[in-house]
């Protein structure tokens, strides 16, 4: 099995071997038809382009690009076309599949027509958009937590039964779930009106399975917690983010702080590194050459060279 880290990161200086799987987790692109600015204020296409450029700068060759919903703001067919046009060339260069997850701002029929190449036979065009990916032994399951006509979330009994069936057989490297509405509380009052409902039934399906992590979006800020004993990680948005510097009741959007996450899947742990999308002067002390010099040393020599205080 080949690690998906860039070659200069495939050294082992600590207790963990490099992660065998890497996922890029992005969320809430909120594109509009005709490239319109969201709310007349946010250039969501420029912000997505900046985010995708930042993803490429990491040098990672991810196993998948996962977009956890609110892909468009109004579910317009042209917005899905524009999203595809922006993301697919990047995914092709990275050699990674794209996993599209539905959010409350999406519309199932338009999303199915615009982003899914093949609908499941017999599926109604407003059926939930779910899927299962085998990423070299790591199973990724996309759930659809949307409720047509509403902004809050729910996973209906049929979908939970389907999920239980999928999870009945464990995967070699375990399972990661991706859905839009996080099964976590928010400290911002308005988000709890729009939360995922009937979480107890969802927890019952997850408990005792090989689910190792849950990826979500919806909140437009990065946060994390646990649900049914499983770590949950929420990626911020590519379009605009919530300014958490305000008191909870006064939190609103701002055109700054956009971020995505690098999800590193190790044998016994998954980490979620938040990557702010910023242009800033950055040092050059550490480099591939520096890492190669360290790699040529014994562990004790490395400690002497880099850990000992002078």
Residues interacting with Fe ion, by CB under 5 A? 28, 70, 103-104, 218
Check: CB of residue 264 under 8 Å from CB of residue 22. yes
- What residue is closest to Fe ion based on CB? 70
Check: CB of residue 64 under 8 Å from CB of residue 25. no
Question: Least distance to Fe ion from the beta carbon of 87, Å?
Answer: 17
Nearer to Fe ion, 219 or 270 (CB): 219
Question: Least distance to Fe ion from the beta carbon of 154, Å?
Answer: 13
Q: What CA–CA distance (Å, rounded) separates 248 from 242?
A: 10
Question: Least distance to Fe ion from the beta carbon of 227, Å?
Answer: 17
In DSSP notation, 127-183 reads: S---EEEEETTEEEEE---B-TT-SSEE--HHHHHHHHHHHTS--TT-EEEE-SS-S
Question: Least distance to Fe ion from the beta carbon of 90, Å?
Answer: 21
Task: Spell out the SS3 assignment of 232-274.
Answer: EEECCCCCCEECCCCCHHHCCEECCCCEEEEEEECCCCEEEEE
In DSSP notation, 5-47 reads: S-GGG----SSSPPPSEEEEEE----B-GGGPPBTTTB-HHHH
Question: Least distance to Fe ion from the beta carbon of 275, Å?
Answer: 19
Nearer to Fe ion, 21 or 128 (CB): 128
Nearer to Fe ion, 159 or 236 (CB): 236
Nearer to Fe ion, 150 or 290 (CB): 150
Question: Least distance to Fe ion from the beta carbon of 147, Å?
Answer: 12
Question: Least distance to Fe ion from the beta carbon of 181, Å?
Answer: 7
Check: CB of residue 175 under 8 Å from CB of residue 163. no
Nearer to Fe ion, 8 or 156 (CB): 156
Phi first, then psi, for residue 264 (nearest 5°) are: -100, 120
In DSSP notation, 40-105 reads: TTB-HHHHHHHHHHHHHHT----SEEEEES--BSS--HHHHHHHHHHHHHHHHHHT--EEEE--TT
Nearer to Fe ion, 20 or 28 (CB): 28
Nearer to Fe ion, 20 or 70 (CB): 70
Cα 102 → chain centroid? 12
Question: Least distance to Fe ion from the beta carbon of 73, Å?
Answer: 8
Nearer to Fe ion, 173 or 218 (CB): 218
């Amino acid at each position: 099995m080949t690690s998906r880290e860039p070659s200069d990161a495939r050294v082992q200086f600590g207790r963990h071997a490099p992660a065998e799987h890497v996922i890029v987790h992005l969320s809430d692109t909120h594109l509009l038809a005709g490239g319109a600015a969201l709310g007349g204020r946010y250039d969501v296409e420029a912000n997505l382009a900046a985010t995708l450029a930042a993803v490429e700068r990491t040098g990672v060759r991810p196993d998948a690009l996962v977009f956890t919903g609110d892909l468009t703001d109004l579910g317009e067919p042209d917005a899905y076309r524009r999203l595809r046009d922006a993301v697919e060339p990047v995914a092709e260069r990275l050699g990674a599949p794209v996993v599209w997850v539905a959010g409350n701002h999406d519309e199932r029929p338009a999303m199915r027509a615009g982003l899914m190449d093949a609908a499941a036979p017999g599926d109604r065009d407003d059926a939930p958009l779910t899927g299962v990916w085998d990423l070299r032994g790591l199973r990724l399951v996309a759930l659809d937590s949307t409720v047509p006509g509403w902004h809050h979330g729910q996973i209906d009994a049929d979908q939970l039964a389907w999920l239980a069936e999928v999870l009945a057989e464990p995967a070699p490297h375990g399972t990661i779930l991706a859905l839009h509405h996080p099964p976590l509380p928010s400290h911002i009052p308005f988000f709890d009106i729009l939360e995922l409902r009937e979480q107890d039934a969802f927890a019952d399906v997850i408990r005792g399975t090989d689910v190792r992590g849950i990826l979500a979006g919806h909140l437009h800020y990065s946060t994390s917690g646990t649900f049914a004993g499983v770590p949950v990680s929420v990626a911020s948005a590519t379009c605009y983010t919530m300014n958490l510097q305000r008191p909870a009741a006064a939190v609103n959007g701002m055109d700054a702080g956009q971020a995505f996450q690098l999800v590193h899947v190790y044998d016994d742990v998954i980490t979620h590194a938040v990557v702010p999308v910023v242009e800033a002067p950055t040092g050059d002390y550490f480099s591939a050459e520096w890492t190669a010099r360290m790699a040529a040393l014994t562990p004790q020599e490395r400690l002497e060279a880099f850990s000992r205080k002078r």
